[in-house]
């Protein structure tokens, strides 16, 4: 099978959410011992999950969180508060179980899949999947030219699709997205600016601790990266020009999960940028997305608005790693538990809403 065939077949297989199943789920929730709609967005969440999976949930979903890591050539431009070697160091921290996402994934009962998609010096980290493509470790500097070749981008997307299929085959019912890569908010900002579209200054934020000068360098990097874009570039061309290796991989996870009717739980700005690329490739995949959290990054709100997604949480998280997705998993579990475990009016012997009195004769 040549490179690109899996991507083409996956995109063609992505279905829209089943609104009839969502309506049936809403009717079942209305029969529970509560006023209709009184659990608010928790009920909406159960209906969305049912629509994505094309079935009324009958029990909790087995969750997995995929954290993809890679390095970025633009990191040498002073667009991050941390040096590039932190990416490899954090990869080892993930593997040893010491990172925030490791703690929160354990608390949420989620399996954690850590993937090296192009970390410089990350080839020998035990417990981490090596999904690098074409031997590429770290993108090129997006200020000087394309971050990666289109072939590499497609190869990474297909690696992500393959992982999504593997997880679905293993019974995973919901996939959270996470990432790690010094300077990847710059790549995410460039993707958002190109695909929304938006001005670089509107999508660039302080990331994990930039000062004012660093923010100015980030805006300049995004502006110069966008300057070489062909106005007629398709989403994969945009991804290969200004994106990241880990972002390309998460585009594939998003598309692959959507094709398998597995809900995709977005984390912060970078994973949402990957989701935006996926949506530009196949708009129907948005129907499989759930936004876990809203980042303080200004570009994140714009991306979520473009995707039509309202986040479940707003905790001012700016770490990434999939931490927001892990924190949202109890809400997912609770929405399904209400549907499957809560008594109905009939079963509990509780009177339902009173009927309106008949009009009095005059």
Cα 107 to Cα 110: distance, rounded to the nearest angstrom: 8
Q: Listing from the earlier edge strand, what are the strands of the sheet with 129-130?
A: 129-130, 111-116, 63-69, 174-180, 264-266, 289-291
CATH number assigned to the domain covering 62-333: 3.40.50.10210
What confidence score (pLDDT) does residue 231 get? 81
Cα 75 to Cα 35: distance, rounded to the nearest angstrom: 53
Phi, psi at 289, each rounded to 5°: -95, 145
Report how far apart, in Å, the C-alpha atoms of 277 and of each of 96, 110, 136, 142 are. Answer: 31, 26, 21, 17
Picking from 124, 41, 122, the residue whose alpha carbon sits closest to that of residue 89 is 122
Asked if the model's pLDDT at residue 362 lies above 60, the reply is no
What are the tens digits of pLDDT across the range 287-337? 999 999 999 999 999 999 999 999 999 999 999 999 999 999 999 999 999
Is 266 in contact with 289 (CB distance < 8 Å)? yes
Is 255 in contact with 281 (CB distance < 8 Å)? yes
Query: pTM for this one?
Result: 0.96
Is 52 in contact with 288 (CB distance < 8 Å)? yes
Cα 350 to Cα 95: distance, rounded to the nearest angstrom: 51
What are the tens digits of pLDDT across the range 211-267? 999 999 999 999 999 998 988 899 999 999 999 999 999 999 999 999 999 999 999
Is 275 in contact with 299 (CB distance < 8 Å)? no
So which residues are the catalytic ones?
A: 321
Asked if the model's pLDDT at residue 359 lies above 80, the reply is no
């Amino acid at each position: 099978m040549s490179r690109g065939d899996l991507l083409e077949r996956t995109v063609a297989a992505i279905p829209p959410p089943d609104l009839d199943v969502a309506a049936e789920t809403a009717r079942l929730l209305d029969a529970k011992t509560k006023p209709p709609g009184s659990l608010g967005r928790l009920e909406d969440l159960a209906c969305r999950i049912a629509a994505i999976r094309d079935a009324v949930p009958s029990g909790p979903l087995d969750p997995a969180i995929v954290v993809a890591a890679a390095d970025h050539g633009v990191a040498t431009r002073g667009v991050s508060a941390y040096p590039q070697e932190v990416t490899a160091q954090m990869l080892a921290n993930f593997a040893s179980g010491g990172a925030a996402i490791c703690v929160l994934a354990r608390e949420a009962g989620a399996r954690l899949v850590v993937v090296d998609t192009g970390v410089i010096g990350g080839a020998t980290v035990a417990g981490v999947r090596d999904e690098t493509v074409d031997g590429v470790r770290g993108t090129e500097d997006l200020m000087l030219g394309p971050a990666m070749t289109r072939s590499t981008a497609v190869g990474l997307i297909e690696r992500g699709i393959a992982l999504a299929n593997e997880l679905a085959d293993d019974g995973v019912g919901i996939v959270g997205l996470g990432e790690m890569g010094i300077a990847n908010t710059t790549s995410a900002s460039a993707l958002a600016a190109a695909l929304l579209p938006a001005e670089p200054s509107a999508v660039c934020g302080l990331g994990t601790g930039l000062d004012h000068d660093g923010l100015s360098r980030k805006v300049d990097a995004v502006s110069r990266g966008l300057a070489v874009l062909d106005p007629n570039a398709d989403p994969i061309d945009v991804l290969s020009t200004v994106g990241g290796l880990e972002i390309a991989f998460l585009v594939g996870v998003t598309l692959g999960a959507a094709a398998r009717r597995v809900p995709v739980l977005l984390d912060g700005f970078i994973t949402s940028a990957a989701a935006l690329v996926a949506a530009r490739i196949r708009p129907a995949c948005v129907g499989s997305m759930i936004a876990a959290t809203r980042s303080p990054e200004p570009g994140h709100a714009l991306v979520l608005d473009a995707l039509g997604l309202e986040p479940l949480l707003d905790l001012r998280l700016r770490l990434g790693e999939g931490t927001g997705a892990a924190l949202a998993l109890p809400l997912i579990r609770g929405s399904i538990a209400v549907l499957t475990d809560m008594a109905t009016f009939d079963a509990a012997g509780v009177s339902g809403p009173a009927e309106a009195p008949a009009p009095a004769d005059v």
